[in-house]
Amino acid sequence: MDTETLDEKRNIARKLHALKETLDSSKFFDVYITFDGDTTKQYTEWIRCLKYDPIVIMDSVKRLLGSLHLKYVPEKKQRNSNFGLVFDYSHDGTTESYYLKANETNWVTNPDARELIVYLLLQRIGIGPSKYYFIPGDAKLETVIYIATLKVPGFTMAKDLDNPLEEVAAVELHLLAIILNLIDPNTSDYGLDIHGSLTIVDFSLTKTYKDSACAMYFKEHVRRQPALVNLDKCPGWKRVMIGKEAMKRWNLEKVIEQTEEDFLKIKEELNKEVEFLDRASCGIKDHLESIKWNVQKLISDWDEDSSQ
């Protein structure tokens, strides 16, 4: 889809939204009920065009953070990333750059609230961006949350590294992908920060599940990415040693509980504006249970192996 066509569709969507607001306020559909179903369906399809409209998105950001403190910086877009917008936020004498993306999923109508959980958890263990904002979409996009994550200082995507990830970082990425139900990580979604430490800035999730073979998968699976060649070369016993040390350092079992508390606070703050979070609670609970189960299964199998 070329830019001109997309802009035209967005303009039509804005006009439709204004017209529907007028009809709703005049109670048109209360009188002409037969028009309501088809109109709502077509309206919803057109309004989706605005989900990625920079004007609509930045209006949502301004509502939360205040227009005086924001600057949209389109030229800073991160290459090959799902983060389509960048804005600078000035406050308390500092200016911070944030990457912005829409929270969504491909297999259900509502956005994937599990994604919020994973960002919170990665922040807790120091593997993701250190600050974030979950921003409710415009009223006409009530099922959208935009995720703003602070730019990681000195971050280099794995695809741009001169050398593959060191063994420990590669194994830790592999471990987190298994525990958190991440789809095979894209080399633009992870890399190293200014200190050479593993950082995950974006990800995609599989459907939540508990894999009884996760310990074997952790020890034996190869990723076949040039950036992860040191994972593929790493023997199973050494992966387990690195995994145990990472689990201990991250204190994952406690962090999972803290992450759940973090999410409940955010849900309480956003629930008036983002109704889908109530409906998403079941999926969130299932995903957290899956993460806990994966952690406990790995630890149990590792302990069993060491006792033999």
For the chain, the domain total comes to 2
Q: Is 192 exposed, middle or buried (0-12, 13-18, 19+ CB in 10 A)?
A: buried
Instruction: Order the strands of the 190-192 sheet from edge to edge.
Output: 156-157, 190-192, 198-200
The verdict on residue 269 lying in a domain is: yes
**Per-residue DSSP letter, 145:** E
What per-residue confidence (pLDDT) applies to 169? 97
The verdict on residue 123 lying in a domain is: no
What per-residue confidence (pLDDT) applies to 1? 44
Across the range 194-210, mean pLDDT stands at: 88
> For residue 241, is pLDDT > 80?
yes
Name the phi and psi angles at 100, rounded to 5: -130, 135
Name the phi and psi angles at 123, rounded to 5: -65, -45
Q: Are residues 160 and 36 in the same domain?
A: no
Q: Are residues 46 and 164 in the same domain?
A: no
> For residue 18, is pLDDT > 90?
no
Q: Which of 51-60, 80-89, 100-109, 255-264 has the highest mean pLDDT?
A: 255-264
Cα–Cα distance measured from residue 305 to residue 308, given in angstroms and rounded to the nearest whole number:
5
Nearest to 52 by CA among 77, 70, 71, 69: 77
* SS3 label, residue 168: helix
Across the range 92-103, mean pLDDT stands at: 86
Confidence of residue 66 (pLDDT cuts 50, 70, 90): confident
Greatest C-alpha distance within the chain: 76
Confidence of residue 72 (pLDDT cuts 50, 70, 90): confident
> For residue 9, is pLDDT > 80?
no
Q: Which of 50, 67, 87 is the last residue of a domain?
A: 50
Q: Are residues 289 and 161 in the same domain?
A: yes
Q: DSSP E strands: which ranges in the chain?
A: 70-72, 85-91, 94-103, 132-136, 145-150, 156-157, 190-192, 198-200
Q: Which of 35, 50, 65 is the last residue of a domain?
A: 50
pLDDT digits (tens, 9 = 90+) for 124-154: 999 999 999 988 876 555 567 888 999 999 9
* Residues of the domain holding 14: 1-50
3-25 and 36-47 are packed helices; what angle lies between their axes, rounded to 10 degrees? 140
Task: Specify the length of the chain in residues.
Answer: 308
Percentages (nearest 5) of helix, strand, coil residues in the chain: 55, 15, 30
